[in-house]
Structure 1
Amino acid sequence: MSEPIVSVFSDHVCQLGEGPSYDPGTDALFWFDIVNSQLLEKPLAGGALKIHELGQMASAIAIIDDKRQLIATETGLFVRDVATGGMTLHTAIEADNPVTRSNDSRVHPCGALWVGTMGKGEEKGAGSIYWFFKGELRRLFSDITVSNSICFSSDGALAYYTDTSTGLLMRVACDPATGLPVGEPKIFVDHRSAKGYIDGSVLDRDGILWNAVWGGSVIEAYGPDGELVRTVAMPVTQPSCPAFVGRNADRLAVTSAWSGKNEKQRLLDLQGGMTFMLDIPVNGRLEPRVLIA
């Protein structure tokens, strides 16, 4: 097998790059610098990077329609007007809790959104994972320290998530029609003895889960049985989240971060915070649109 090609997609350095999502309508990648309250946008085919100042921490984006996006922020879900950048609160989430912010989120094939929260200082058990569908919000899992790795099988029958602090990647059966869990979560991958921490993930059409290993300098791919099937070396120590990109969803974009590093550590990780493109064969899929009403 030939070596995968890893290239810099954007050399803009994010303190905490996260939440990449591809928009096939504009052929652009969106992602966030969470702690600096910025939404970033860049066309895959080249062109200038756009930086949108949001005024609050935000971590995830989903497409509602050609004119609107849904943004997960530290106070809730906001509808963003693509043309003007205007943000309107749709559903508050922990808006009265200054300790927490949004983190990892993803859209289920039915149009429901799972959105995670966490403490801004990674306070133990401060976060939760919520289900949002057509205006309804429910808490699915509580006592979460760092919500991450939310992704779904293409038929909507399985969901994956982690509390990064546990080192355990969980899998739970879902109702394909609603995206709600059915049954109890079970351990899919036990990462406690491995290097690094489970961060963001995506699941391809073959049931392969691609995970960014924070502190591990790799992307790891796990088969449907939870066995490690591939490791892709990254030029940064803290890759944070992958996303399928391209109109055929056949490549991976990966965000990264320098957050938590001192000056000496940053000098040893000069590309930390940049966003990368992985030209490796993946049978990815485009993100579903989120249903807000």
Structure 2
Amino acid sequence: MTTIVNLALDARAALGEGPHWDAETNQLYFVDIDGRALHVYDTVSRNHRMHRFDKRVSAVIPAVDGSLIVTLEDGIYNYYPDSGALHVIALIEAEMPDNRFNDAKCDPAGRLWAGTMSTGYAKDQGSLYRLERGGEPARVVTEVGCSNGLAWDESKGCMYYIDTLKLAVDRFRYNSGTGEISGRETVIKWPSKEGYPDGMTIDNEGMLWIAHWGGGKVSRFDPDTGKRLAEIEVPALYVTSCVFGGARLDELYITTARVVLSEDEHALYPHAGGVFMAKPGVTGTPSRRFGP
């Protein structure tokens, strides 16, 4: 059975990424990294707003205090969309100007996890950081190529993590009370010739949904067996991430990119850079806000 994929928003993002579903406002947040823009989309009213930045913005997460947490190239910030005010929480890796932030998410306890990468994809130059409200960022994983997808399964006490350049999905033991992780192991070896593993989310059955950068689809994997259970083809070659949303968390929103398309590929994928939506027949887990 083929899952129908619809174009939810023709965003024409250069590098659409980091989708976050905010259940309190029923809005989808996502970013255009190279377009230096934050998008807010109401999937019911179809109201679409954009906020521009002077630097590349790689992730957006609502906070419990009403601000938005954004990761820009050089650090983590509070952003206040009504006023446009931007306040520094922490500047990161100033000694490595070729690095920038990439994907970020909050764990079930409301901690921020945000990773970096080399803009030139230099090997093992990035890191993964953990930030608690009122605290300082702690570097928890080093020697990262391209920090990407994050997901948590509290029922199993684990965190899943993608370093795209390692072509694998890894699992850590995860302590929700302290945020500590340990015992890294590879649970999914990425299928060859199907692009690269990018962003991901987790459904209510504990299965991982992972975007194929350069592979034109999203796949569902069982992290206990490493086997692929399903796939959804997307009319965009560079699929970047996905998140469950909608009132019942049964809608899978998928972000894509157009920045690296050739002229022929633009003709093949006219809506690349858009946000797509599919109903895969399972429900997801909620996106978390930053803060306790």
Using structure 2 for the length normalisation, give the TM-score: 0.93
**Aligned length in residues:** 290
- Any conservation in 2 of the 1:61–1:70 contact (CA below 8 Å)? yes
Does residue 213 (structure 1) correspond to residue 212 (structure 2)? The answer is: yes
Residue matched to 1:52: 51
- Any conservation in 2 of the 1:168–1:191 contact (CA below 8 Å)? yes
Secondary structure at the counterpart of residue 209 of structure 2: strand
Secondary structure at the counterpart of residue 181 of structure 2: coil
Residue matched to 2:4: 5
- How far the C-alpha of 1:242 sits from its partner, in A, is 0.2
Give the unaligned 5+ runs of structure 2.
Answer: none
TM alignment of 1:112-123, pairs within 5 A: 112-123=111-122
- Any conservation in 2 of the 1:109–1:156 contact (CA below 8 Å)? no
Moved more, 29-38 or 262-271: 262-271
Secondary structure at the counterpart of residue 193 of structure 1: coil
Deviations along 1:24-61, one digit per CA (max 9) or x if unpaired, are: 22211111110121001110103332111022111112
Q: Percent identity among equivalent residues?
A: 29
Residue matched to 2:19: 20
Secondary structure at the counterpart of residue 261 of structure 2: coil
Does residue 171 (structure 1) correspond to residue 171 (structure 2)? The answer is: yes
Secondary structure at the counterpart of residue 169 of structure 1: strand
Aligned AA (2:97):
P
- Distance between the aligned counterparts of 1:116 and 1:247, measured in 2? 30
- Any conservation in 1 of the 2:75–2:92 contact (CA below 8 Å)? yes
Aligned AA (1:253):
Y
- Distance between the aligned counterparts of 1:127 and 1:260, measured in 2? 22
**CA RMSD in angstroms, aligned pairs only:** 1.7
- How far the C-alpha of 1:94 sits from its partner, in A, is 2.0
Secondary structure at the counterpart of residue 185 of structure 1: strand
- Any conservation in 1 of the 2:129–2:137 contact (CA below 8 Å)? yes
- Any conservation in 2 of the 1:112–1:178 contact (CA below 8 Å)? no
Residue matched to 2:105: 106
Moved more, 253-262 or 283-292: 283-292
Secondary structure at the counterpart of residue 136 of structure 1: coil
Residue matched to 1:97: 96
- Any conservation in 1 of the 2:59–2:70 contact (CA below 8 Å)? yes
- Distance between the aligned counterparts of 1:44 and 1:158, measured in 2? 31
Residue matched to 1:191: 190
- Distance between the aligned counterparts of 1:157 and 1:136, measured in 2? 24
- Any conservation in 1 of the 2:70–2:78 contact (CA below 8 Å)? yes
TM alignment of 1:236-247, pairs within 5 A: 236-247=236-247
Give the unaligned 5+ runs of structure 1.
Answer: none
Residue matched to 2:263: 263
Secondary structure at the counterpart of residue 198 of structure 1: strand
- Distance between the aligned counterparts of 1:178 and 1:250, measured in 2? 31
Aligned AA (2:240):
S
- Any conservation in 2 of the 1:6–1:277 contact (CA below 8 Å)? yes
Secondary structure at the counterpart of residue 63 of structure 2: strand
Does residue 227 (structure 1) correspond to residue 227 (structure 2)? The answer is: yes
Aligned AA (2:48):
L
Deviations along 1:176-201, one digit per CA (max 9) or x if unpaired, are: 2122202x211110015241110100
Residue matched to 1:61: 60
Deviations along 1:141-190, one digit per CA (max 9) or x if unpaired, are: 222121111111144721111221121111111112122202x2111100
- Distance between the aligned counterparts of 1:149 and 1:8, measured in 2? 23
Using structure 1 for the length normalisation, give the TM-score: 0.93
- Any conservation in 2 of the 1:154–1:204 contact (CA below 8 Å)? no
- How far the C-alpha of 1:128 sits from its partner, in A, is 1.0
TM alignment of 1:116-131, pairs within 5 A: 116-131=115-130
Residue matched to 1:144: 144
- How far the C-alpha of 1:108 sits from its partner, in A, is 0.8
**Cα 1:23/1:95, change in 2 over 3 Å:** farther
- How far the C-alpha of 1:87 sits from its partner, in A, is 1.3
- Distance between the aligned counterparts of 1:213 and 1:253, measured in 2? 14
- Distance between the aligned counterparts of 1:223 and 1:159, measured in 2? 14
Aligned AA (1:250):
D
- How far the C-alpha of 1:279 sits from its partner, in A, is 1.9
Deviations along 1:94-134, one digit per CA (max 9) or x if unpaired, are: 24532111111111111111111111232222211111113
